[in-house]
Amino acid sequence: MSAARSPLPALDADLARRIRLVGIDVDGVLTDGGIYLGAVDGTPLEFKRYDIQDGLGIYFLRKAAIRIAIITGRVSDSVRLRAAELGIDDVAQDAYARKLPAFRRILQRHAITADEAAFIGDDYPDMSVLRVVGLPVAVANAVPEISAVCRLRLTRSGGYGAVREFAETLLRARGEWDALAEAYVAERSAEGKSPRGDTKSPRKQRLTTSGKGRR
């Protein structure tokens, strides 16, 4: 018997409809914060674990015409590969965790204001961005100082469906979740050519890579 799901956090509908871009941290948000480091023949390798349900949540956000940006303070090919898999073009990796300047450049590129953006974070490197966005979001495993500055606090931890929970919370507040979910099911129930953008494709990508930086 499966455990009952926790109720989704409450989110103001007007605020939800204002969001045009969602920024996401990686370690501790898209992942559980753990990394596997090793080397083969002197070549550094790094592995990260991603949650497939987060991927589908991101897919729904993109179908709702919401831009997604990945902002991380750890440089890793794993992040580049995962972003490509999810169709995310805006990826900023800075080994010194200078997230706010990178985030502002992305906003400027798309003529989006900080008030029209959300950001999901978990720790101090995310603080500068969380302080300026219209919708700051903390995962369940966020440090207390991050949770304190966030308007929305998720019940799920990073790497375990937190981004999916946020996607559903935002899209339900906008009144768009049910239609997007039904359209997804309908597309994948039809005979013939497989739809593009399927985040549950059997295609596999190798996510081993070198990594350096702080986050």
pLDDT of residue 4: 63
Residue 176 has pLDDT above 80, yes or no: yes
pLDDT at 208: 34
Rounded (10°) angle between helices 52-63 and 162-173:
30
Is-contact 125 97, C-beta < 8 A? yes
Tokens standing for residue 184: 């997804």
**Dihedrals φ, ψ of 49, to 5°?**
-105, 125
209 has which bridge partners? 46
Q: Which amino acid is at 124?
A: Y
pTM score of the predicted model: 0.85
Coil, strand or helix: which one is 108?
helix
Domains detected in the chain: 13-186 (3.40.50.1000)
Q: Taking residues 128-156, report their average pLDDT.
A: 98
Give the pLDDT mean for 38-61. Answer: 92
How far lies 169's CA from each of 15, 162, 165, 201, in Å?
12, 10, 6, 25
Averaged confidence pLDDT in the chain: 89
Which ranges in the chain belong to alpha helices (H)?
13-18, 52-63, 77-86, 99-109, 127-130, 144-149, 162-173, 177-187
With a CB cutoff of 8 Å and minimum separation 6, the contacts of 130 are: 119, 121, 136, 137, 138, 146, 149, 150
Question: What is the reported pLDDT for 210?
Answer: 39
Give the model's pLDDT for residue 195. Answer: 55
